[in-house]
Chains A and B, each alone.
Chain A
């Protein structure tokens, strides 16, 4: 199996990307990796090529704040060229820690969409009290209409089935109230569509305070709200840890107790550490494209490599495509009153 990796994307590129790739190659002997990056980067950080690692030279980088339209003029960028390797079947998956917009643009342009999906979404493993749950959209689409939200629900459902082996994962919609009439017009419409979709086990609306409970398998929202929720969680968790540290070390007596609670606090921090989850797939594009956190370091990159390999090995894209096709078939049958199958 070959995995293409954008060596230039991310706050710690290329050194941490290269370090992560090297770690993955040591542990996973069946893997081949193609690193796409600049000649200068490889000269500085990759003087000796490990076995099963090849490089492809790119000549530009899509910056984090760059408009996705610039992809037209940056076909020699690392993200474009790495995605192209998948489109040309020279690699089985692509991983990037760079601009999410550019990665989505390149995936749409070169890999295309899964039939029936208008907008891909980023799915995030959200750390809840009952373990990580499927949360989407993590920020691919700032705006989403009710059809997009339904697509997210169907894709999230397929992803949860892939991760948990549950036949009918519980799917919920994020809103400002649990009643069906709560939310914006789009959320209310999406609620109706999800409730009517036979392939979904829709459990209704959940509120912001329910996100952490984990009483669901899939939670759906638009990319704007999703990204806010994720960043808010990161911020609150970090702030809370700061306050706890401040309080438990405030006096000599408390410091003795701090020693005792430290391992427990470390475990909690681990559960919130995104680097353990190793990237999030861009759901809805016709190929495995893993989005990593912009500040990913070597461990996060290494875990993303294992994650990508698992998606390829288990034919996840095929499963997703089948789920979407089944939904559209159901819709057609509803419209024709089941005559299609007669």
Chain B
């Protein structure tokens, strides 16, 4: 499990869990996690802040799972190396 994966998962947990011990798997879809536009905004901005990146709107629209988010961040982090 990569560092990026761990960190992104932590961001999802911090932003979405409100006392239910929410279970988040890599394959969890945003719909399964009951993520609405405000949740997504919170998660995305926290990721952008953490990695100093900007997730374009078209990429965001295609993003459906936690895995998708991790893959995009890993790609951007690797590009920056």
Contacts and interface: CB of A to CB of B under 8 A. Distances in A.
A113 B41 contact: no
B49 to A, nearest CB: 9
B79 to A, nearest CB: 20
Q: Which 7 A-B pairs have the closest CB atoms?
A: A118-B18, A116-B19, A328-B19, A109-B45, A108-B42, A69-B41, A116-B18
Interface of A: 67-69, 71-72, 104-105, 108-109, 113, 115-119, 328, 331
14 contacts: A68-B41, A69-B37, A72-B45, A72-B48, A104-B38, A105-B41, A108-B41, A109-B41, A109-B42, A109-B45, A113-B18, A117-B18, A119-B38, A328-B19
Contacts of A113: 18
Contacts of B9: none
B4 interface: no
A72 B37 CA distance: 12
A262 to B, nearest CB: 47
Describe B's contact surface by its main secondary structure: helix
A108 B38 CA distance: 9
Contacts of B37: 67-69
Contacts of A331: 19
Contacts of B24: none
A331 B38 CA distance: 27
A331 B48 CA distance: 35
Interface residues of B, number: 9
B63 interface: no
Contacts of B41: 68-69, 71-72, 105, 108-109
A117 B18 CA distance: 6
Interface of B: 18-19, 37-38, 41-42, 44-45, 48
A113 B38 CA distance: 12
B77 to A, nearest CB: 19
B18 A105 contact: no
Contacts of B19: 115-116, 328, 331
Given A105-B41, A115-B19, 19 more contacts: A67-B37, A68-B37, A68-B38, A69-B41, A71-B41, A71-B45, A72-B44, A72-B45, A104-B38, A105-B38, A108-B38, A109-B42, A109-B45, A116-B18, A116-B19, A117-B18, A118-B18, A119-B38, A331-B19
Contacts of B18: 113, 115-118
A328 B19 CA distance: 8
A117 B45 CA distance: 19
Of the candidates B19, B41, B42, B45, the one having the most CB atoms from chain A within 10 angstroms of its own CB is B19
A119 B41 CA distance: 14
Nearest to B55: A72
Contacts of B45: 71-72, 109
Contacts of A69: 37, 41
A72 B18 CA distance: 23
A255 to B, nearest CB: 54
Contacts of B38: 68, 104-105, 108, 119
B11 to A, nearest CB: 13
A153 B45 CA distance: 29
Of the candidates B38, B41, B42, the one having the most CB atoms from chain A within 10 angstroms of its own CB is B38
Nearest to A71: B41
B43 to A, nearest CB: 10
A168 to B, nearest CB: 23
Contacts of A118: 18
Contacts of A108: 38, 41-42
A341 B34 CA distance: 33
